[in-house]
Structures are given as structure tokens and as C-alpha cells.
Amino acid sequence: AQTVTQSQPEMSVQEAETVTLSCTYDTSESNYYLFWYKQPPSRQMILVIRQEAYKQQNATENRFSVNFQKAAKSFSLKISDSQLGDTAMYFCAFMYTGNQFYFGTGTSLTVIP
């Protein structure tokens, strides 16, 4: 069975600072995908960033980057130059080909002006 663990239920960061959200997962699959989704108060689910397990290079998307450690089964999200609009719930998710997403319990991030 696949599990995704987010150990930080709540975090806060000053505007313009950097914050890192942690995520670990457990799987016996070798080919899989990892994602971070953002859920603002409107409760939409917005894809932030994606990482393929077969790629060693960490994914980057503007101010968002990941630290993917496959051996450690760790997939953290770094948000640089935090903005007020980054305030949201962040979910780490795992998927293997053709299958469902497995979500973590989420980290509530508050950006403080």
C-alpha cells in the first residue's frame, strides 16, 4: 500500500522569506510520480509542481522547487520569496501509472505580511 505523510500540519512564513514543506512517502513501486497541490480557501485543487521518480533532477517551477530524495522517499517543497497569495493548504500526492492519487493530510501555510 502507498502512504504519504506530511508531518507539519501548520506552518507560517514572513512575506518574501523562504519556507520548506516536508513530505515522505512509502511505496514498493519503482516508477511513480509525485506532486504538490495547493488548495486556497476557495478549495480548488491547483497543481503546483510535479516530479517523475525516474528523473534525478529536481523539478522547478518559478518560485517553487522540490528536493526529491528517492532513496529516502522524501519530497519536500521549497517556496522562495513567499507571497500573500501563497497562503493555502498544500497537499503532497503520489501516483503510479494509471492509478489513483494518494494524498497526504496537508500542511496549512500562512504567509504573514
Partner 1 sequence: EPEVTQTPSHQVTQMGQEVILRCVPISNHLYFYWYRQILGQKVEFLVSFYNNEISEKSEIFDDQFSVERPDGSNFTLKIRSTKLEDSAMYFCASGETGDQPQHFGDGTRLSIL
* Number of neighbouring beta carbons within 10 Å of residue 96: 17
- Grouping H, G, I as helix, E, B as strand and the rest as coil, residue 26 is strand
Of the two residues 83 and 99, which places its CB atom closer to partner 1 in the complex? 99
Burial level of 109, CB count in 10 A (0-12/13-18/19+)? buried
Of the two residues 15 and 55, which places its CB atom closer to partner 1 in the complex? 55
Q: Which of 73, 86, 90, 106 binds partner 1 (CB under 8 A)?
A: 106
Near partner 1 in 81-100, by CB under 8 A: 91, 93, 95, 97-100
Query: H/E element holding 74?
Result: strand 74-79
Binding track over 15-34 against partner 1, x by CB under 8 A: ------------------x-
Q: DSSP class of residue 9? A: S
Binding track over 45-84 against partner 1, x by CB under 8 A: xxx--x----------------------------------
